[in-house]
A and B are shown apart, each in its own frame.
Chain A
Amino acid sequence: MKTLSLALRSLANRRTTALLTLCAIAVSVALLLGVQKLRTAARDGFANTVSGVDLIVGARSGQINLLLYSVFRVGDATANVSWDTYQKVARRSDVAWTIPLSLGDSHRGYRVLGTNLDYFRHYRFAGGRELTFEAGKPFADLYDAVLGAEVARALGYKLGDPVVIAHGLGNVSFAQHEDKPFRIVGILARTGTPVDRTVHVSLEAITAIHVDWQSGMRALPGGRVDAEAARAMDLTPDSITAFMVGMQNRVMTFGLQRAVNEYRQEALLAIMPGVALTQLWNLVGIADTALMIVAAFVVLAGLLGMLTAILTSLNERRREMAILRSVGARPRHVFTLLVTEAGLLAVGGVAAGVALCYGLIYAAKPLLERRFGLFLEPGGLTGYDIGLLAAIVAAALVMGALPAWRAYRNTLADGLTPRV
C-alpha cells in the first residue's frame, strides 16, 4: 500500500510526462478497442445482410456466387430459374413464403430488382429488422418503383419523380427503356445492406419493359408495344433469376435444400444464406485480422513510449532513489516502486482509453448509421475485450520491469553517493 501511494506521489511530481504517457496509452487502447468493436459490428452487419431467409435458390453455380448476386447484387447469374420450377417449389406444403428475384437491368449504375410484395413483407436484415418506408409505400401500379435509401440520396430523388430503367448493367447505357418510365412511389429507410442501393419494381414490370425486346434489342417501330398496351398483356415471366424461401418449419430446411439440389428437370442450387455468409466471411475476414494486427502494434508503440518515458526519468531520479534508500528502502522496494508506476500508468491509460473509445462510439453512432449503415452496438466489454486489456496491463508490467531492474542495479551500485 505504501509503495502504491509513493508511486502515485512520484508520478504526481512528474505529472506532465506522466499524463502524456497516459494519453499515448489511452489513445492506442481506444484505437485497439475501437477496431475490435468495429470489426465485430462489421462481421455482425455482414452476417445480418439477410436474415430470416432459410434458403436461396438459383441456377446451379457456386454457393458464394449465388449469394453474391442474389443478396449483394454483385456479379451475375449463370442461368435463370424457370417460372414453372419456381411455382413448384413455392407451392410445396413445407414452404411458408417465397420472394422471387429478377435481376439484369439497372438505373444509373444501381441494380433494378424485380420482385413481388412479399419482399417488403418477409425480407429481414440485421437480426430480424423489417424493411420500413422512409416515405411512400410499396409498388401497386405496374410502373411504380421503390428506391433504396442510398439510391434516393445519391441521385436526389423524391416521391413522384420519373425513373427510366436501362437495359443491362452499364452506368451509361445506350439501351434505355425510355418508352416505359416508372414513377417513384416509395423510398425505403436505410438498412446498411445492399437493399439501399437497389431500385425495386414488380416482376410484371420487368416483363412489361421487355415485351418488345428480342435478343437484347428493341423491336423495330412496327413491332413495338407501348406502355399502356403492355398492361393488357399476360405479364407472367418465363423465368426469374433466383428466389428466397422461408420454411414453415426450420427443421425442413435441409430436406428442401436436398430436394432442390437433386431436382432432375433443372440444374438448381439451394444455399443456406447463413452458411454461405460464413464461408464468404472466411474469405474477406482476413482484412479485419490485418486491421487488428495494426492496432495491436499501435498499442505496442504506446507501451514503448511509456518505457522510454520511465527509462529517461531514471537519471533525473537518482537523487530520489538515493533518498529512498537512505530512509531505509531496500533495492527491491525501488524495483517494486517502478513496476507499480508502470502498472499505474497502464491501468490509468487503459481506463482512459476505454472511456475515450465509448465516448467516440456514442458520438459517432448516429453518423455511422446514417452515412455508412453500420449499426454499432457498443454493448459492454466482452470477455475477449477484457482479456485484451488485461494483456496490455500485463505487457506494461513486464516492460516496467526493465527500468525497474536498472534502478535496482543502480541503487546497489550508487548507494548513497549520487554524483549530482
Chain B
Amino acid sequence: MPRRTRPAIEQLIALLVLSVAGGTAGADGMHAHGKHVHGEVTVNIALEGRTLALEIDAPAAQTLGFEKSPRDDRERAAVKAVDDWFRSGRNMLGVPPAAGCRLTKAEFTPPKLGGGHADYRGSYLFDCAAPEALAWIEVWALRRMQGLEKAEVNLVTPAGQRQETLRGGAVRVTLR
C-alpha cells in the first residue's frame, strides 16, 4: 500500500501549510481564497435549457501529483499533458449519447506551480440537443485524478439544487 501513505503525508504537510497560510490571510481580513483541500475535488454542474455547464476545481496534487514547479523533462511533460487536457475539455464528462451534447466553450488558465498551493480550474459549456435524455452524468475527469479521497458534486438542475459526494472510484450522478 505505498500509494496510500504518500497522500496522507501530503495532507499532513498541506494542513501545516494551510494553518500558516490561514494566519497570514486572516491579517488582511478581506481576501478570500477558494478552499484547497488535498484529496478533494469540487465539481459544479448546472443545466438550464440546452446548456450544460461544468466547472472542475482540483488541487494540482490530484491532477499532476505535485504542486511545485516542474524540475525535469518528465515533470514538464506531465504539466503539459494536464494543461492540454484541461484546455481542450476533452474526456471531462460522459453523458448518455442520446442527449447529443457538444462542447462549445472551454476556459482554463494554467495554475502557477511552485507558489504554494496550485489549483486546476476548468470551466466548460456544452450544448445538448436533447437535454431531457440526460438521465445521468459521469465525471470522467475524476478517473485521471491521483490520490482522490472524494469529489463534491454540486448539481443545479430544473429539479433543484443538490450535492452528491463521489468516493471510491464512483463517477456517476443521476439527474432524474
Residues in A with CB closer than 8 Å to B46 are 250-251, 253-254
Partner of B55, one of A249, A254, A275: A254
Known contacts being A274-B161, A275-B161, A275-B162, is A253 close to B30, with CB within 8 Å? no
Complex CA gap A400/B47 in Å reads: 52
Q: A326 near B: Cβ within 8 Å?
A: no
Q: B22 near A: Cβ within 8 Å?
A: no
Q: A371 near B: Cβ within 8 Å?
A: no
Complex CA gap A277/B44 in Å reads: 16
Complex CA gap A279/B165 in Å reads: 10
Complex CA gap A274/B153 in Å reads: 12
Complex CA gap A54/B155 in Å reads: 11
Partner of B29, one of A51, A262, A267: A267
Least Cβ–Cβ distance between B26 and chain A, in angstroms: 11
Least Cβ–Cβ distance between A261 and chain B, in angstroms: 6
Q: B168 near A: Cβ within 8 Å?
A: no
Least Cβ–Cβ distance between B67 and chain A, in angstroms: 21
Residues in B with CB closer than 8 Å to A51 are 160
Q: B115 near A: Cβ within 8 Å?
A: no
The answer to whether B34 and A258 touch across the interface, beta carbons within 8 angstroms, is yes
- Chain B contacts with A in 127-176, Cβ cutoff 8 A: 154, 156-158, 160-163
Q: A265 near B: Cβ within 8 Å?
A: yes
Complex CA gap A258/B34 in Å reads: 8
Q: B88 near A: Cβ within 8 Å?
A: no
The answer to whether A254 and B47 touch across the interface, beta carbons within 8 angstroms, is no
Q: A47 near B: Cβ within 8 Å?
A: yes
Q: A272 near B: Cβ within 8 Å?
A: yes
Known contacts being A262-B32, A267-B32, is A274 close to B55, with CB within 8 Å? no
Q: A78 near B: Cβ within 8 Å?
A: no
Q: A39 near B: Cβ within 8 Å?
A: no
Least Cβ–Cβ distance between A49 and chain B, in angstroms: 12
Size of the B side of the interface (Cβ < 8 Å), in residues, is 22
Least Cβ–Cβ distance between A284 and chain B, in angstroms: 15
Least Cβ–Cβ distance between A384 and chain B, in angstroms: 15
Complex CA gap A60/B33 in Å reads: 13
Complex CA gap A363/B5 in Å reads: 58
The answer to whether A272 and B34 touch across the interface, beta carbons within 8 angstroms, is no
Least Cβ–Cβ distance between B162 and chain A, in angstroms: 6
Q: A278 near B: Cβ within 8 Å?
A: yes
Known contacts being A250-B47, A251-B46, is A272 close to B161, with CB within 8 Å? yes
Q: Closest chain B residue to A281 by CB distance?
A: B163
CB 8 Å contact bits of A270-303 with B (1 = contact, 0 = none): 0011110111000000000000000000000000
Least Cβ–Cβ distance between B37 and chain A, in angstroms: 15
The answer to whether B30 and A254 touch across the interface, beta carbons within 8 angstroms, is no
Complex CA gap A265/B44 in Å reads: 26
CB 8 Å contact bits of B34-52 with A (1 = contact, 0 = none): 1000000000101110010
Residues in B with CB closer than 8 Å to A419 are none
Q: B82 near A: Cβ within 8 Å?
A: no
Least Cβ–Cβ distance between B104 and chain A, in angstroms: 12
Q: A264 near B: Cβ within 8 Å?
A: yes
Q: Closest chain B residue to A249 by CB distance?
A: B48
Residues in A with CB closer than 8 Å to B51 are 249, 251
Complex CA gap A156/B4 in Å reads: 64
Residues in B with CB closer than 8 Å to A278 are 162-163
Q: Closest chain A residue to B164 by CB distance?
A: A278
Least Cβ–Cβ distance between A342 and chain B, in angstroms: 38
Least Cβ–Cβ distance between A215 and chain B, in angstroms: 24
Least Cβ–Cβ distance between A345 and chain B, in angstroms: 37
Q: Closest chain B residue to A262 by CB distance?
A: B32
Known contacts being A47-B160, A253-B46, A279-B163, is A264 close to B30, with CB within 8 Å? yes
Least Cβ–Cβ distance between B121 and chain A, in angstroms: 10
Least Cβ–Cβ distance between B111 and chain A, in angstroms: 16
The answer to whether B162 and A250 touch across the interface, beta carbons within 8 angstroms, is no
The residue among A54, A250, A261, A263 with the most chain B CB atoms within 10 A of its own CB is A250
Q: B31 near A: Cβ within 8 Å?
A: yes
- Chain A contacts with B in 34-63, Cβ cutoff 8 A: 47, 51, 54, 60
Known contacts being A54-B156, A254-B44, is A274 close to B32, with CB within 8 Å? no
The answer to whether B162 and A274 touch across the interface, beta carbons within 8 angstroms, is yes
Complex CA gap A51/B160 in Å reads: 7
Residues in B with CB closer than 8 Å to A254 are 44, 46, 53, 55, 154, 156
Residues in A with CB closer than 8 Å to B163 are 274-275, 278-279
Complex CA gap A272/B163 in Å reads: 10
Residues in B with CB closer than 8 Å to A265 are 30
Residues in A with CB closer than 8 Å to B31 are 264
- Chain A contacts with B in 159-190, Cβ cutoff 8 A: none
The answer to whether A261 and B32 touch across the interface, beta carbons within 8 angstroms, is yes
Least Cβ–Cβ distance between B101 and chain A, in angstroms: 14
Complex CA gap A258/B29 in Å reads: 18
Known contacts being A262-B32, A264-B31, A267-B30, is A253 close to B156, with CB within 8 Å? yes
- Chain B contacts with A in 72-130, Cβ cutoff 8 A: 125
Residues in A with CB closer than 8 Å to B154 are 254, 272, 275
Identify the 5 closest CB pairs spanning chains A and B, nearest first.
A274-B161, A250-B48, A275-B163, A278-B163, A251-B53
A-B contact pairs, 30 of them (CB 8 A): A47-B160, A54-B156, A60-B32, A249-B51, A250-B46, A250-B48, A250-B157, A250-B158, A251-B46, A251-B47, A251-B51, A251-B53, A251-B125, A253-B156, A254-B44, A254-B46, A254-B53, A254-B154, A261-B32, A261-B34, A262-B34, A263-B32, A264-B30, A264-B31, A267-B32, A272-B156, A274-B163, A275-B154, A277-B161, A278-B163
